[in-house]
A and B are shown apart, each in its own frame.
Chain A
């Protein structure tokens, strides 16, 4: 099992890890020949968020080499803080590369070698070693992406900094946040709370863009007529989870939100921009809170 790559885009990698680190202490990283996946399972964080991300190798790395017995895939469990720490150390380096040594020493490591200019002008080498736990393909098979129904509506979220302030205030008023959106046009996104002691009801309304899906062209003729375009599809979520997702604002990108009525909220964070030239996507699954409110 061998892996070696030059980390080209350290700031982006660093920011992604900052988001992940605030969410969960440990994450799973899977290196594949074309993509890198970062996975956070819900069992280790209280809010129940899962993150499944696919980042194109070309977004972060160059000179990427990978070799393993399992179809050239390496999966590992790693402490988010240690990886973030290593990346932050690299940030002002001239060149950096990450490599994973084999398990021969019975101690799997992801090591980062970098060269920095010293005060005298000569370059000096540094190495960060991060302990990892290599996951066997059998272990990985048990980890599956959550199954979700076809989303009721898909919208392009407003920019995350504009969402941050209202969501912070709403969170101060209530622990449960109601996210509602319709199909439109006009497409509206509503963030609603009822205060914990019922002393206030607040509703923040954004006008957003509806996202046309191109996935099933066959069904497109029939489907739009079936769905009520005015109906607000609602997901009650923990305000805390949404705040955690909004930590993403440090990475520049666009977000498409998929609302599955009373089931879950899926947030696709496209690094850079949406579409084919996106650098990758971080997918956040936020489960719905089960409550007895009106549907």
Chain B
């Protein structure tokens, strides 16, 4: 299950709608091993495509080094599907390289919070998981949140 603050869900939806019809993408970093999404980092889709996304490699290096320095990892890796349902495509499955991550897909057609879905993708196996949207984190964690 992915437990996530509603502000982070809203920020992902807002970014996806703003980028529509181009696929949006990004990560939410959090403490390594915690499963707690805290810092939302929009990533540049270098493909600038309606049907494909790829993180800008230079920005990715920069963000990954920053996470390493802060003892964080990508808790959520998100992207939008701008013309199809929120289920991992073959490309999503084949290219999923972070077994600990929650892969969140935001469909920008028929969109509401319930349409956002989350998956674990491990060794090309897809398992959908429930998203529990919470109104608040503990106060000290809310201070660290970037949404």
Q: Are A and B associated in one complex?
A: no
A residues bordering B, Cβ < 8 Å? none
